[in-house]
Chains A and B, each alone.
Chain A
């Protein structure tokens, strides 16, 4: 059963965060018999707390503390963004792990190659898919075909596309692993009220607890990582729900707070030895922040689509994901289905007056696609801090700066044309694409893995170049963004990292 560890127990591995990265890593370590204390800033909800209402769930799940600059959407709750995600789980492609080698130097971009290859990650992708119950893998059937998916498929065929599927979604198409089959409730980003969608809240966390090697402390906001004089991390400082400050000793610390909090924690742990923040001798901490080219396309179709019925994202189209420089840009993008609540439709479609009202009165006839595409890293896209403005923890307020690279804007022009043509080929009218939609849901790159310590913050295991018992375990690790939705890769990297940590511990190197 769930264990309790003493604050001065220096044998534990501390994992900060319980989402896709932290929750998975913690469970994988606990399954190997390694003692883990997981510190999660948010509360532990139950399925009964999940309401099929994006508005209310924003309050319950969202990280709603002060932020400045470009908006970002992360979660402060057990399960992190696995509560809000839509479950789309494509693997990255081989060339995407070699962005610099494949695309070459690009003006204004800070491209590097990943220190690992697809071949090295493939076994972990497979384990991640099995763990998460990804539809269409490991004997699981594809996901059921929703109205919006059927529309996508017809449009894809009209466009001459060949590679589309309703599979590769981490939402149970059939009952599995103690969780029920999807009931097509809709708006999965409210959280799944029946637990059919994979979230660490009701998979990794309880499984870790059942090992007897894991303690979850909720409403535990980690504000600082301490280190010894010889530069090894030794403990973390955190506030509990009453605002009392505690120090938990640690054998190793793994940080998985999503990009903003991961950067802030390392930044806030600066010291005489590490004046620019922990693990930041390269100066790359908080920089190279990528969040994918993302946009939605809507059109009014000739008949009812009712995209609010069923999974929010129920299909993928791969044909544009490849690197085909003749299109005028490097890298590629995925086209996916999407369903959007009325407010978001009004915001995305834009405009006002009779034409806007007419669009909204066709809500049930809307067809929609979503694009997620590779976004080159730029050093100037970053998470910094306003030291003059402090939040309730006394921490400096994060300041986000993010602008699209010219390559992403060229990709947008191409994708917009393709998605609008796709919907129009099935009779859609008034097709409209809006750049920027959804930005800040896929967050990557601020503590990127690199071969050379000068190029990034962490090595091929997610271990800080500067500090051998400090790890980063979330999307911050991504060397480049690739095109696809990031969660599967975060989970695969966490499984792989757990093996590495266990191996080093067995060899008494941690």
Chain B
């Protein structure tokens, strides 16, 4: 299979998982407790179903709404602010979300709702606010279904990115290195004596 073919398969699977996630959110949006449970259940699967987004920010916004991309990009960084992760990575995350939304009316509507809620909260575009105000707006909106939906989109794409793995010291797949049998699977050294 070609690289682009593989990417396309990944996109299809990804879209499917995200769609089912969305369905769960909307179906249960009035039942907070139940939603929490379902979110956790869905997220268990998300960990198994990722694609890695690596498009550059420039590509991310070309032909798509730069205003929306800016708003979501800022939200993505404030959701998971890693000082040493460059903006281009958050941009790639937003690119992935917006690309998926182009094929998915429900997701697209969610993004539009997010942008309008974020931008209208203070009468000024979200992107233009200072950080404290942005955090206050997000805190105010965090119980809304769209917020959780976007949070899952962001975390799934951000923490499957090898550039982010470097920041959190996860080295990625080990099979090509022969696993950890000779590389520290049992090297824990800070437990009490006799452990």
Partner-B contacts on A (CB < 8 A): 51-59, 62, 64, 66-68, 70-71, 73, 144-147, 150-151, 153-154, 182-186, 189, 193-194, 302-306, 308-310, 340-348, 352-354, 356-357, 360-361, 363-364, 403-404, 426, 434-441
| A437 and B49 within 8 A (CB) | no
B137 at the interface (CB under 8 A from A): no
CA distance A184 to B43 in the complex (A): 25
B188 at the interface (CB under 8 A from A): yes
Q: Could you tell me the distance in whole angstroms from the C-beta of B151 to the nearest C-beta in chain A?
A: 6
CA distance A352 to B158 in the complex (A): 13
- Segment among B95-103, B111-119, B172-180 that sits at the interface with chain A: B172-180
| A438 and B52 within 8 A (CB) | no
Interfacial chain A residues near B47, Cβ < 8 Å: 54, 340-341, 343-344, 347
Knowing A71-B41, A404-B37, A436-B38, the reply to whether A58 touches B48 (Cβ < 8 A) is: yes
| B43 and A364 within 8 A (CB) | no
| B174 and A309 within 8 A (CB) | yes
The one of B160, B168, B180 in contact with A363, judged by C-beta atoms closer than 8 angstroms, is B168
CA distance A305 to B186 in the complex (A): 9
Q: Which residue of B lies closest to A147 (CB)?
A: B188
| A150 and B44 within 8 A (CB) | no
Knowing A55-B48, A58-B49, the reply to whether A304 touches B188 (Cβ < 8 A) is: yes
Interfacial chain B residues near A186, Cβ < 8 Å: 174, 179-180
Interfacial chain A residues near B104, Cβ < 8 Å: none
| B173 and A51 within 8 A (CB) | yes
**Chain B 53-92 interface 0/1 with A at a Cβ cutoff of 8 Å (1 = within):** 0000000000000000000000000111110000000000
Tell me the count of chain B residues lying within 8 A, CB to CB, of chain A. Answer: 66
Q: Could you tell me the distance in whole angstroms from the C-beta of B187 to the nearest C-beta in chain A?
A: 7
B156 at the interface (CB under 8 A from A): yes
The residue in B41, B164, B176, B187 that gathers the most chain A C-beta atoms within 10 A of its C-beta is: B41
Interfacial chain B residues near A144, Cβ < 8 Å: 181, 185-186
Knowing A54-B50, A435-B40, the reply to whether A440 touches B160 (Cβ < 8 A) is: no
Within 147-188 of B, Cβ neighbours of A (below 8 Å) are at 151-152, 155-156, 158-160, 164-165, 167-171, 173-176, 178-181, 183-188
Q: Could you tell me the distance in whole angstroms from the C-beta of B77 to the nearest C-beta in chain A?
A: 10
Given A184-B185, A344-B47, A364-B169, 19 extra CB contacts under 8 A: A64-B16, A71-B45, A73-B45, A306-B184, A340-B47, A344-B48, A346-B80, A346-B155, A346-B159, A352-B151, A360-B80, A360-B159, A360-B168, A403-B34, A435-B36, A435-B37, A436-B37, A437-B41, A439-B44
CA distance A213 to B142 in the complex (A): 60
| B79 and A352 within 8 A (CB) | yes
Knowing A55-B48, A354-B81, the reply to whether A309 touches B184 (Cβ < 8 A) is: yes
CA distance A151 to B192 in the complex (A): 10
Q: Which residue of B lies closest to A66 (CB)?
A: B16
Interfacial chain A residues near B80, Cβ < 8 Å: 346, 352, 356-357, 360
| A150 and B40 within 8 A (CB) | no
The one of B79, B156, B187 in contact with A356, judged by C-beta atoms closer than 8 angstroms, is B79
B109 at the interface (CB under 8 A from A): no
Interfacial chain B residues near A146, Cβ < 8 Å: 185-186
Interfacial chain B residues near A345, Cβ < 8 Å: 159
Q: List 9 A-B contacts (CB under 8 A).
A: A51-B175, A58-B48, A68-B23, A151-B188, A343-B47, A345-B159, A353-B79, A363-B170, A404-B37
CA distance A64 to B13 in the complex (A): 7
Q: Which residue of B lies closest to A439 (CB)?
A: B41
Interfacial chain A residues near B170, Cβ < 8 Å: 308, 341-342, 363-364
CA distance A151 to B42 in the complex (A): 28
Knowing A52-B175, A437-B41, the reply to whether A342 touches B168 (Cβ < 8 A) is: yes
| B164 and A59 within 8 A (CB) | no
CA distance A342 to B155 in the complex (A): 9
| B10 and A343 within 8 A (CB) | no
Interfacial chain A residues near B81, Cβ < 8 Å: 353-354, 357
| B165 and A342 within 8 A (CB) | yes
| A303 and B186 within 8 A (CB) | no
Q: Could you tell me the distance in whole angstroms from the C-beta of A116 to the nearest C-beta in chain B?
A: 31
| A54 and B48 within 8 A (CB) | yes
B191 at the interface (CB under 8 A from A): yes
